[in-house]
């Protein structure tokens, strides 16, 4: 099947649209703006997945045996002049305990308490940062600490899924 134009290409008059005469105009500025639309698909994928053009990375804390109360199991310093976003975490402990995810936003201490009711792990990964609207201030630290001292010989570990803008 071949497609045929209603009017042959040589009969199309671009100076007139629907019977209305069109004035001449320089299209170069409009065409120059099209370069702003040239966005890499990888950037669009990050925007779609994380809501920002970021690629969060895991910050892994080492194994800690019988940590004292308030021990930072994982921490990440926020670069100066940047904002830190927490896209997830992993916490593993060989016994029940409470944990505190902490950061500073707008000069005020912020936190989220996470309860582990029995030995095991808790994992959270989300496209909307846990601290959306309250990003960690540049020059401060994001951390996860155990609230109660760990038992003798009990191993703890934590990780943060973190990005900066």
Q: What is the pLDDT of residues 89-116, one digit of tens each?
A: 999 999 999 999 999 999 999 999 999 9
Domains of the chain: total = 2
Same domain assignment for residues 64 and 40: no
> Is 3 contained in some domain?
no
Same domain, 42 and 67: no
The whole domain housing 108 covers: 56-164
Q: What is the mean pLDDT of the chain?
A: 88
Q: What is the pLDDT of residues 41-59, one digit of tens each?
A: 777 777 777 778 888 999 9
Strand spans (E) along the chain: 16-17, 20-21, 57-60, 64-65, 72-77, 84-93, 97-105, 108-116, 120-125, 141-146, 155-164
- Give me the pLDDT at residue 44, please: 77
Task: Please check whether residue 157 lies inside any domain of the structure.
Answer: yes
Residue 32 confidence class, pLDDT cut points 50, 70, 90: confident
User: Is 63 in the same domain as 42?
Assistant: no
Grade residue 65 by pLDDT with cuts at 50, 70 and 90.
very high
| Six token digits for residue 57 | 């990375």
Decide: 114 and 65 in contact? Cβ < 8 Å.
no
The DSSP H or E segment spanning 90 is strand 84-93
Task: State how far Cα 16 lies from the chain centre.
Answer: 49
CB under 8 Å to 76, separation ≥6 — which residues?
59, 84, 141, 142, 143, 160, 162
The helix (run of H) or strand (run of E) holding residue 31 is helix 28-33
- The answer on 87 and 31 residing in a single domain is no
Q: What is the pLDDT of residue 6?
A: 63
């Amino acid at each position: 099947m071949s497609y045929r134009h209603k009017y042959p290409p040589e009969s199309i008059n671009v100076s007139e649209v629907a019977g209305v005469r069109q004035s001449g105009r320089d299209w170069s500025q409009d065409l120059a703006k099209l370069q702003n639309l040239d966005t890499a698909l990888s950037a669009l994928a990050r925007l779609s997945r994380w809501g920002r053009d970021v690629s969060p990375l895991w910050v892994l804390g080492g194994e800690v045996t019988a940590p004292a109360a308030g021990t930072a199991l994982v921490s990440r310093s926020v670069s100066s002049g940047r904002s830190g976003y927490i896209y997830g975490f992993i916490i593993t402990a060989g016994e029940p305990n409470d944990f505190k995810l902490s950061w500073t936003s707008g000069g005020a201490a912020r936190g989220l308490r996470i309860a582990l009711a029995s030995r095991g792990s808790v994992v959270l990964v989300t496209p909307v940062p846990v601290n959306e609207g309250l990003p960690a201030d540049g020059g401060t630290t994001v951390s996860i600490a155990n609230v109660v001292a760990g038992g003798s010989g009990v191993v703890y570990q934590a990780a943060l899924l973190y990005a900066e803008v």
